[in-house]
A and B are shown apart, each in its own frame.
Chain A
Amino acid sequence: MSAGGAFGGTRGARPVPPEKGVFPLDHMHECDLEKEDYLNCLKSSSHKSEKCRRFSRKYLECRMEKNLMAKQDMSELGFAKVYMEVSEEKTANI
């Protein structure tokens, strides 16, 4: 069964490695609190990601602090001010 396409169809498709590489594992559980915050937020907002954006941002910032992630400007990762304000409005509205 092949979905068509030239030169091998779906057989040619292979997983693309992540853009920024691999997350080093958090063996020391340093960012556990932020992770828990984020997960709780997800549960309460029926898994809507946009409502919990600031928690995910906090988690990533924690990772950057603890050297578990390459430091980068948040806006480049999609956490620009505009988005954050929009998501915070939404959280406030719940």
Chain B
Amino acid sequence: MSWSKLSRRSQVFYYLSKNSLLVAFQSRKVTEGFGYVTPTTGIWLRCRYSSWSVTQWPQFSPRAYHPVARSCTQLEFRHHYASVALKEKKSRKMLIYLTALVFGMVGCSYAAVPLYRRFCQATGYGGTVQRRESVEEKISRHSRDGTVMTREIVVQFNADVADGMPWKFIPTQREVRVKPGESALAFYTAENQSSSPITGVSTYNVTPMKAAVYFNKIQCFCFEEQRLLPGEQVDMPVFFYIDPEFATDPRMDGINNLILSYTFFKVRDE
């Protein structure tokens, strides 16, 4: 097909080029056609191609040289834009979902704290203190049951003083042999060796750790400030009770020694 023919009549012809499909429908000096261009994005763009007749320049071969001007019209852009807009909408939706998810997770981690607390209290998992009976209730229950224990446990005592505290703090007895289910009394002696009144507070712990659950203190001198005048010596009693359930727990089979350790810290001196 030669261009000269086209320039005289209107024809519809398909001109396949490398990457476009050219449809010409007008017969004019200037041949116009619509090409469907597929750029690398894969979107069909409908652009108008204008090429003018080469009869004016017969020296040029029609196939060799076709000056082509391209202008893609509004309609084509709108169609293209619509698909882009759709994609944008989808991405925006995705963004909103993801942001909501992030906030949801942050909120969950904040809510986890009270939820865990409730769960632990309900199930007692991980050694959380549940609502359990007091020592007196335990004692009365066991005395009613008439449980007699044969296993003897040695409770040893240890006393410590924080650095820089001029108190002499020792257990009055080295150890006490007690049976589970028996309430027992023990003493510590503290002496203020300085020349000014000193207030101290003590804390305790029981080793081995897993036996500490069964060691109930009915009354003692810990967690409260105790004031000693200079040179004063005082005896501090501890009244404790080992739960009879200690004897039935298989984890406590090898444990016959408990160590009760107290440490005194200075609060202030005047």
Give A contacts to B, CB under 8 Å: 3, 5-8, 10, 12-13, 15-23, 25-27, 29, 32, 35, 38-39, 42-43, 46-50, 53, 56, 59-60, 69, 75-80, 82-83
Q: Are B237 and A78 in contact (CB under 8 A)?
A: no
Q: Are A22 and B172 in contact (CB under 8 A)?
A: no
CB distance from B217 to the nearest CB of A (A): 4
A12-B128, A19-B217 known, 7 other contacts, Cβ within 8 Å? A19-B216, A43-B173, A47-B174, A47-B175, A47-B176, A56-B185, A76-B139
Contact with A along B202-214 (1 / 0, CB 8 A): 0111000110100
Residues of B close to A43: CB separation below 8 A: 173
Chain B interface size band reads: 35 or more
Residues of A close to B129: CB separation below 8 A: 16
Considering the complex, give the chain B residue whose CB is closest to the CB of A82: B143
A8 to B135, CA, bound (A): 27
Neighbour of B209 across the interface among A3, A18, A29, A60, CB < 8 A: A3
A60 to B136, CA, bound (A): 15
Considering the complex, give the chain A residue whose CB is closest to the CB of B148: A86
A50 to B183, CA, bound (A): 9
Residues of B close to A15: CB separation below 8 A: 203-205, 222-223
- Specify the main secondary structure of chain B where it touches its partner: mixed
CB distance from A4 to the nearest CB of B (A): 10
A-B contact count (CB 8 A): 126
Q: Are B218 and A20 in contact (CB under 8 A)?
A: yes
Question: Counting CB contacts under 8 A, is B220 at the interface?
Answer: yes
Contact A18/B220 with A49-B178, A56-B185 known, Cβ cut-off 8 Å: yes
Q: Are A75 and B126 in contact (CB under 8 A)?
A: no
Q: Are B232 and A76 in contact (CB under 8 A)?
A: no
Residues of B close to A21: CB separation below 8 A: 219
Q: Are A10 and B209 in contact (CB under 8 A)?
A: yes
B170-205 contacts to A (CB < 8 Å):
172-179, 181-185, 187, 203-205
Q: Are A25 and B143 in contact (CB under 8 A)?
A: no
Question: Counting CB contacts under 8 A, is B234 at the interface?
Answer: yes
Q: Are B173 and A19 in contact (CB under 8 A)?
A: no
Residues of B close to A38: CB separation below 8 A: 185
Residues of A close to B15: CB separation below 8 A: none
Q: Are B212 and A13 in contact (CB under 8 A)?
A: yes
Q: Are A18 and B174 in contact (CB under 8 A)?
A: no
21 chain-A/chain-B pairs, Cβ below 8 angstroms: A3-B209, A5-B126, A5-B127, A6-B126, A15-B222, A19-B217, A21-B219, A23-B236, A27-B232, A39-B187, A43-B173, A47-B176, A49-B176, A49-B182, A50-B179, A75-B140, A76-B136, A77-B139, A78-B139, A79-B183, A82-B143
CB distance from A46 to the nearest CB of B (A): 7
Q: Are A35 and B174 in contact (CB under 8 A)?
A: no
Residues of B close to A22: CB separation below 8 A: 219-224
